[in-house]
Amino acid sequence: MTSSVKQPADIRQVAVIGLGLMGAGIAELVARSGRRVAAIEINQTFLDQGMARLSASLDKAVSRGKLTGTARDEILARIRPTADIPAGVADADLVIEAIPERMELKSVLFAQLDQACRADAILATNTSSLSITEIAGGTRYPPRVAGLHFFNPAPVMKLIEVISTVLTSPETAETLTLLSRDLGKTPVQVSDRAGFIVNALLVPYLNHAVRLLETAQATREDIDKAATIGLGLPMGPLTLLDLIGLDTSLAVLEVLQAEFGGTRYVPAPLLRKLCDARLFGRKSGRGFYDYRHGTPAAATGDHDLAAASLPAEVAVIRDLDGLLDELASDIAAAGISVVPQPSPDTGLVIVAADPKHRVLDAALAVGHPADVAGIHFTDTGDGKHRLAELVLPDVTAAGTAAKATALAATLGLNAVTSRDRPGFLAAALAYAQFNDAVRMFQDGFAGPADIDTAMMLGCGYPRGPLQMLDDAGPAHVVSVLEAMHAATGDPAFTPVPLLAEYATAGIRFRS
């Protein structure tokens, strides 16, 4: 049984069980580090397929000049394929399990490992959704069992989540952390809970995006654009759902819902309906977008009809903070008449939109609610506007919406259109996730640095959610969340106590 921290040099023989896409990548990664690998599958057919997958990956690295032919041959020579589990794991210092996500399969396998492995061998599972505590509890030596969650493709992705159960020894966790660094990865430590760090933060955010779509808050394209242009994320949530697989995300949501309850993890009805229709995303050819004819094209609609709707006169209602001064100057420079208050000739009234308040209130105050569009700019943090959110109260006339869209296009703005709901698009998506991240820290499952690192390396975030929260200002985030909660009644948007405390005290989560 493991009783002391092992150094990376002590982990010389590794057994990888399950040679699917993830398992083959893990075996390749470990063999690249100079260690001997027993690559194990349950039968010869799966074993041959897994080794072919691994060899193809190495061949691709050679063709791209990232690996020499000699190095490829040396890596393959360190890998011993076998369909005999007891023989494959007998000499292993570490066993990494990467079989399908079914608890009954993993329970049977870990019972076999109990009998076949040395008592001091570490047993790690690559599960992304199942309870590692339950897996460990069924073994003879639960202190040596932990989670070692790689991200696909394992040879490329830098993140590894090292997951400890209440039974895992500190020495086991530390050994796996040191080994992860030796493999060239960045480990983050998290307690065993559904979704760990990445899936627990990512999947509810994706689900929220589906809710925004199904409630007609915005189009699918604008929801994705709000995330990429407004938040700087590498991919919009609906595009990412199609890439991950809608069925996969639905399964993770159900695991999260079973463990945590509450409304945040209840699958959006539209997500479930698409899964029922077997529209799983890219792998099925259709999801939120249609991939059957190559790269999906943007939907046609009001955005395309707006070209001829440019207003002759625009009323820009100046605010005390001067947020629209530059916009008014840009409109005038485009040759459009700008007035401070609406007149009979005004075709569009623009007011400053605040994600904490309804644009409708400002529209009513102006006295021309059907002609009003709100505009809200996101900020990169260096004072440059990245995204213009055009916010339309439900009383806004269709022609007014077209004029606002045409004006944004004329001014060269990166614009999206949103219904008049607190948070609009960018803040609604981001701030709810910030709240989840603070809850994770508050509940002791992971620290701020590990949370941010996990989302940056695992999801390509330019900044972690807690750093983004600090940049937005905790007090501002709290006020927007409170407005979202008041408008929807959804308790998921209630700021968690620690967030409210930090906002009141002016404390940052990342110093």
**Domain ranges (residues) in the chain:** 10-191, 198-296, 304-419, 426-505
Instruction: Determine the Cα–Cα distance for residues 175 and 3; give it in Å rounded to an integer.
Output: 11
pLDDT in tens, the chain (511 residues): 546 899 999 999 999 999 999 999 999 999 999 999 999 999 999 999 999 999 999 999 999 999 999 999 999 999 999 999 999 999 999 999 999 988 999 999 999 999 999 999 999 999 988 899 999 999 999 999 999 999 989 999 999 999 999 999 999 999 999 999 999 999 999 999 999 999 999 999 999 999 999 999 999 999 999 999 999 999 999 999 999 999 999 999 999 999 999 999 999 999 999 999 999 999 999 999 999 887 675 544 444 444 457 888 999 998 877 889 999 999 999 999 999 999 888 989 999 999 999 999 989 998 888 999 999 998 755 555 589 999 999 999 988 889 999 999 999 999 999 999 999 999 999 999 999 999 999 999 999 999 999 999 999 999 999 999 999 999 999 999 999 999 999 999 999 999 999 999 999 999 7
Q: How far is CA 268 from CA 209, 213, 285, 425, in A?
A: 9, 10, 21, 17
Of residues 41, 161, 221, 389, which has the active-site annotation?
161
Q: List the catalytic residue out of 131, 149, 164, 249.
A: 149
Strand ordering across the sheet containing 13-17: 79-82, 36-40, 13-17, 94-97, 122-125, 145-150, 159-164, 186-191
Rounded to whole angstroms, the Cα distance separating 374 from 396 reads: 10
**Is 435 annotated in the active site?**
no
Q: Cβ contacts of residue 435 below 8 Å, gap of 6+?
A: 477, 481, 492, 493, 495, 496, 499
- Residue 297's pLDDT is 53
CATH 1.10.1040.50 is right for the domain spanning 198-296: yes
Q: Is 494 helix (H, G, I), strand (E, B) or coil?
A: coil
Give the active site residue among 57, 97, 126, 128. Answer: 128
Packing angle between helix 448-459 and helix 426-442, nearest 10 degrees? 130
Reply yes or no on whether 511 is catalytic.
no
To which CATH superfamily is domain 304-419 assigned? Answer: NAD(P)-binding Rossmann-like Domain (3.40.50.720)
> What's the rounded Cα separation, in Å, for the pair 478 and 459?
25
- Of 126, 169, 191, 199, the active-site residue reads 199
Query: Cα(28)–Cα(373) distance, rounded to whole angstroms?
Result: 55
Considering the domain 426-505 in this protein, what is its CATH number? 1.10.1040.10
- Number of neighbours of residue 159 by Cβ within 10 angstroms: 21
Which CATH superfamily includes the segment(s) 10-191? NAD(P)-binding Rossmann-like Domain (3.40.50.720)
368 is a catalytic site residue: no
pTM of the model: 0.89
pLDDT of residue 385: 57
| Helix 198-214, helix 448-459: angle, nearest 10 | 60
Q: Classify 163 as helix, strand or coil.
A: strand
- Predicted pLDDT of residue 383: 54
Q: What is the DSSP string of 340-381?
A: SS--TT--EEEEE--TTS-HHHHHHHHT-GGGEEEEEEEE-S
The 3-class secondary structure across 60-78, one letter per residue, is HHHHCCCCCHHHHHHHHHC
Q: Rounded to a whole number, what is the largest CA-CA distance in the chain?
A: 86
Same fold, 10-191 and 304-419: yes
Distance, CA of 239 to CA of 49 (rounded, Å): 30
Contact of 214 with 268, CB cutoff 8 Å? yes
pLDDT recorded at residue 380: 56
Q: Is the peptide bond before 155 cis (omega within 30 degrees of 0)?
A: no
